[in-house]
């Protein structure tokens, strides 16, 4: 059990029969005779839907744990994404809705931590920012125009907007949730 005022991002709660993963929680001070409350935003780990909750600060909630198992991405179809356990070769499928935007950034043979609840796969742990190679874009313009953007197609087929100085073949960092350009990955200079 956990007290609502102690909720932190990353905690997993069982509310009724549903399992929710907290990604934002804040305390709001009450006014007058209205007591304070804890506002929480959480994802349903099975369906991937976002839900907002309001709890009394002293309210007790049932906290649960998800097990993590590294698995290899195999393929994605219209409804689900399939992963394979590297040692037992057991295959598991997770609904696309539970994974969300991260589906577009999965590559064959990529190792990803899969979250399990009571032995059933429910979601994956994916970094908020990933690196991807630019496959096509207009030729770079090296002027002082860092604030203007152009279209670029990444190796996974996703189209994003990038600054003018980005050229084909470069690797960029992209925010998974918003699919927006973050920055360019610079190649390390070789030392002799």
Domain with residue 33: its CATH number is 2.30.30.30
For residues 92 and 80, membership in a common domain is answered with yes
The answer to whether residue 32 scores a pLDDT higher than 80 is no
pTM for the model stands at: 0.67
Predicted local confidence at residue 72, as pLDDT: 92
- Residue 191 in any domain: the answer is no
For residue range 92-138, list pLDDT tens digits in order.
888 887 777 788 888 888 898 988 888 888 888 888 888 888 888 88
For residue range 45-76, list pLDDT tens digits in order.
777 678 899 898 888 999 888 888 899 999 88
E-state strands within the chain: 2-3, 12-15, 18-28, 37-44, 50-55, 60-64, 67-76, 80-84, 91-95, 111-117, 120-124, 129-137, 149-154, 159-163, 171-175, 180-184
Domain with residue 134: its CATH number is 2.40.50.140
């Amino acid at each position: 059990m956990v007290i609502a005022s102690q909720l932190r991002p990353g905690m997993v709660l069982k509310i009724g029969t549903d399992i929710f993963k907290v990604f934002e929680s804040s305390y709001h001070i009450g006014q007058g005779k209205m007591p304070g409350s804890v506002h929480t935003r959480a994802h349903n780990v099975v369906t991937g839907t976002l839900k907002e909750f309001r709890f009394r600060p002293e309210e007790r909630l049932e906290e649960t744990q998800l097990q993590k198992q590294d698995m290899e991405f195999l393929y994605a179809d219209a409804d689900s994404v399939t992963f394979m356990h590297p040692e037992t070769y057991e295959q598991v499928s997770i609904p696309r809705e539970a994974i969300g935007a991260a589906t577009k950034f999965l590559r064959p043979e990529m190792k990803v931590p899969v979250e399990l609840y009571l032995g059933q796969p429910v979601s994956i742990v994916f970094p908020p920012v990933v690196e991807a190679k630019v496959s096509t874009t207009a030729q770079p313009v090296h002027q002082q125009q860092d604030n203007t953007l152009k279209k670029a197609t990444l190796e996974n087929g996703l189209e994003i907007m990038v600054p003018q100085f980005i050229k084909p073949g470069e690797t960029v960092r992209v925010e998974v949730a918003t699919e927006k350009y973050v920055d360019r990955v610079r190649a390390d200079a070789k030392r002799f």
